[in-house]
Amino acid sequence: MVDRQNDNSRLSISNGRFHKRLCGWLLAFVGAAVYLLTMEPTVSFWDCGEFIASSYFLQVGHPSGAPLYWLIAHCFSWLAGGNVHAVAVFCNALSALAGGLTVMFLYWTICDLLPKRDGWLFRCLPAVGALCYLFCDTAWFSAVESEVYALAVLFAAVAFWSMVQWWHSASQRCDKWLLLTALLLGLGTCVHLLVLLVVPALLLIIIFKGTQNKSAKGYFGKRIVRMIPLAALFFVLGLTPYLIIPLRAAGNPPINVGNPSNAERFKAYLSREQYEHAPLYPRMWRHHENDALYSADWSGGDNGFVGNMQYFATYQLGYMYLRYLMWNFSGRFNDAQGFGNLQNGQLLTGIPFIDKMIVGTGAKPPQSLSHGRHVYFLLPLLLGLFGLCVQSDKKSFWVVMTLFLVTGLGLSIFLNHPTYEPRERDYAYILSFYAFAIWIGVGATELANKIKQLRWRRCSLLLFAIPALMAFQNWDSHNRSHRYIARDASCNLLKSCEKGAILFTWGDNDTFPVWYVQQVEQVRTDVEVYNVNLYGYRQSMQLLNDNLGKRPIYLSYYAQEEFRPFVNCVATGNAYRIDAQLDDSVDVEMMYDNVMHKMQWREVDKAYVDEVSSRFLDRYWQGVVLLANRLAASGELKKAEQVLDKTLQEIPLKVIRNPQTLFDVQQTFSQLDMPQSSALKAEIRSRLEEELAYYHRLPLRKQRLLPFTIPPRELIYGLITVNSD
């Protein structure tokens, strides 16, 4: 009888392990499938173009480098089979697959941190936490583009899971997990330094394992001491991909940021000397233009210790961390970047009386104001908080809490965010959201255990409705499967230039996609591209002066804004040529030829157009309106209608968020007596009526917080209703 019971027990354990592995791999498949279906088919904005080009040719990107990412992405690029247009697809696929595998290891980690319970239900419910992470805003965003964060989180997840295996293993041979963890930490560092943020939680695991068996405490301590040199060796072995940086820099590739080809430059490269280094104190440390004014909004104008602590609590911790946590597990007002605004980029719940306290009203905003709006009704957040409160094993609780705090609160202290960042920084805290997802899985399982006691066992499956809600809410705004805007904007920028031109760009979105299309897809390689931020302002001005009159010199939109006080620029399409001879602000003949025969936009009507993409499309429409007006003024009405018709077919006006641009387009349609004029006027009027009605629902004291939002709309609404059709 005893043998039969032991056999049944071993069979149950074996079945449990099989089901756990099967469920984990199924989650990996689902996660990878979701990310692959929604990933961008080409280059994205921000750093992605640099990462793809750096990986394809093994070049040296920005400090402190990501050599292992470049190596792995380089291998993925081989799958393109020589088709340069497919290189970006396979580099993006690396992030998608890494994201899917991360979901699997998250599920296994949740299972291992929970008390052992029999039954298929308790093996399934940890998947609620894994699925909430899969569909959360930050993880999904990073997993559908060529960025390092999805792969870095995978290394951190596997390292954390590996240490949990070591913690729970009673075998004398379990120290192999320690060595694996050390190797993974070294390799992960070669992707992104955020992997090292799991180390405090791993050290806590070592302490807890040492206290499990008090009689063997001395032996355990000696064992760990003996393992330290070997673990250090494995960690250093994991860092060896960094050796490719000085080796490749010595070859002087086109992308060679900082040229770290010798020991001194390599050290400067690793320490990120080219960037500003934030101190731990003061919190209001940066003194750029308007920084003091902006920080005063959060500190109350106090520059002393109290003001610094208020700034940390309200802006750095509240706005730049807790807001992101709520994005992922509560909801988000829209995808517009927040600069302390009442509504743009604000957190949301979907519960009217709570939202009224956050954004001024609980009413649902019109679609034109709420692109990328997600609401989860606090369900993932509450389930995670429940898991935090009921996690029965206190040692496991403190391990997860350490991971959560170090990667959230601790990172916020270290980063010391200035006001204001050039983009949202939620991706920096992705490991904190990973830790919170563990609590969601714990909460789902423990809630199911309580439901079981009430004999409502099957009702526990309703908990899967929470990640399903997140998937439903987020799918549209995270689906980039038809988005070619970054690539097309860069191609159009290059095609706006004459042969052999010099092109100055400004910032990441002007530059990195251009590097990609030039180096990978070989588009207009005759144009020399200089990023003013990297090349240096003085050097750029000297280069400009040395070549003025010798070679055609062009500026991107942002670059011409910087150089406008010093040079005369004329629009030629997406670019602006420095030209002292032409009196007009548009080279009508050249721009017409570029717009009609060289520049194009693909599948804009099928794509979700986010805020960054919308700005590029908005500026293009503004240029076309300017061109059409110049053509009409010179009597070339047919050509004016042609450029408007072509642009209207490629970029539908529904994706334009700026009402001023829509008004300018309508006015041009009206002057040319085009049939679209009346319909567009009615559409603008209807949109503005909805927006103003929504804004006027806010209390007057809240309306005063929107001085750059309401008055321009009221002005345009007044103009558009005059002489209404």
d(CA 209, CA 216): 11
> Strands 553-555 and 569-571: what pairing?
unpaired
3 state SS for 434-466: HHHHHHHHHHHHHHHHHHHHCCCHHHHHHHHHH
**Taking a C-beta distance cutoff of 8 angstroms, is the pair 463, 447 a contact?**
yes
Instruction: Please tell me the total number of residues recorded for the chain in this structure.
Output: 725
Is residue 587 in a domain?
yes
d(CA 138, CA 427): 6
Question: Which tokens sit at 204?
Answer: 């806590």
Is residue 203 in a domain?
yes
Report phi then psi at 455, rounded to 5: 65, 30
**Pair 707, 637 in one domain:** no
- Coil, helix or strand for 243? helix
**Taking a C-beta distance cutoff of 8 angstroms, is the pair 439, 384 a contact?**
yes
The last residue of a domain, from among 657, 684, 700: 657
DSSP state of 375: E
**Pair 496, 467 in one domain:** no
Q: Enumerate residues 6+ apart whose C-beta is below 8 A from 111.
A: 20, 123, 126
State the DSSP string of 50-90. HHHHHHHHT-B-STT--HHHHHHHHHHHHTTTT-GGGHHHH
The last residue of a domain, from among 478, 493, 528: 478
Query: Residue 374 forms beta bridges with which residues?
Result: 332
**Taking a C-beta distance cutoff of 8 angstroms, is the pair 191, 151 a contact?**
yes
**Pair 454, 507 in one domain:** no
CA nearest to 444, candidates 466, 473, 419 = 466
CA nearest to 691, candidates 427, 340, 369, 338 = 369
**Pair 47, 166 in one domain:** yes
The last residue of a domain, from among 478, 505, 533: 478
> Strands 502-505 and 528-531: what pairing?
parallel
Q: Which residues of the chain have pLDDT under 70?
A: 1-15, 172, 213-217, 219, 453-457, 723-725
**Pair 507, 442 in one domain:** no
**Taking a C-beta distance cutoff of 8 angstroms, is the pair 342, 706 a contact?**
yes
DSSP state of 522: -
**Pair 566, 516 in one domain:** yes
CA nearest to 619, candidates 639, 605, 601 = 601
**Pair 441, 579 in one domain:** no
d(CA 175, CA 169): 9
Element (H, E) at 577: strand 576-578
Is residue 42 in a domain?
yes
pLDDT of residue 458: 73
**Pair 463, 496 in one domain:** no
**Pair 157, 199 in one domain:** yes
Rg for the chain (alpha carbons), in Å? 28
d(CA 635, CA 641): 12
pLDDT of residue 221: 79
Is residue 307 in a domain?
no
Angle in degrees, CA 239, 241, 244, rounded to 5: 135
pLDDT of residue 6: 57
CA nearest to 77, candidates 54, 100, 45, 60 = 54
**Pair 472, 491 in one domain:** no
pLDDT of residue 472: 97
Is residue 583 in a domain?
yes
d(CA 640, CA 252): 47
Question: What distances in angstroms separate CA 614 from CA 367, 442, 555, 653, 666, one per listed residue?
Answer: 15, 40, 20, 11, 18
> Given the structure tokens 């001194």, which residue do they identify?
264
State the DSSP string of 505-518. E-SHHHHHHHHHHH
d(CA 694, CA 700): 13
Range of the domain at 533: 485-657
Strand order in the sheet with 576-578: 528-531, 502-505, 553-555, 576-578, 569-571
356, burial (CB in 10 Å: exposed 0-12, middle 13-18, buried 19+): middle
Is residue 705 in a domain?
yes
Angle in degrees, CA 638, 640, 643, rounded to 5: 110
Is residue 670 in a domain?
no
d(CA 293, CA 291): 5
Give residue 608's region: left, alpha or beta (phi > 0; psi -120 to 50): beta
Q: Model-level pTM?
A: 0.96
**Taking a C-beta distance cutoff of 8 angstroms, is the pair 630, 584 a contact?**
yes
Is residue 70 in a domain?
yes
**Pair 539, 630 in one domain:** yes
Question: Which tokens sit at 492?
Answer: 């159009």
Cβ-based neighbour number of residue 664 at 10 Å = 17
Question: What distances in angstroms separate CA 697 from CA 11, 341, 364, 690, one per listed residue?
Answer: 64, 17, 11, 11
**Pair 495, 559 in one domain:** yes
> Given the structure tokens 């400004």, which residue do they identify?
506
Cβ-based neighbour number of residue 274 at 10 Å = 12
Report phi then psi at 308, rounded to 5: -65, -40
Domain count, the chain: 3
> Given the structure tokens 């070049």, which residue do they identify?
59
d(CA 40, CA 141): 10
**Which tens digits make up the pLDDT trace of 30-53?**
999 999 999 999 999 999 999 999
611, burial (CB in 10 Å: exposed 0-12, middle 13-18, buried 19+): middle
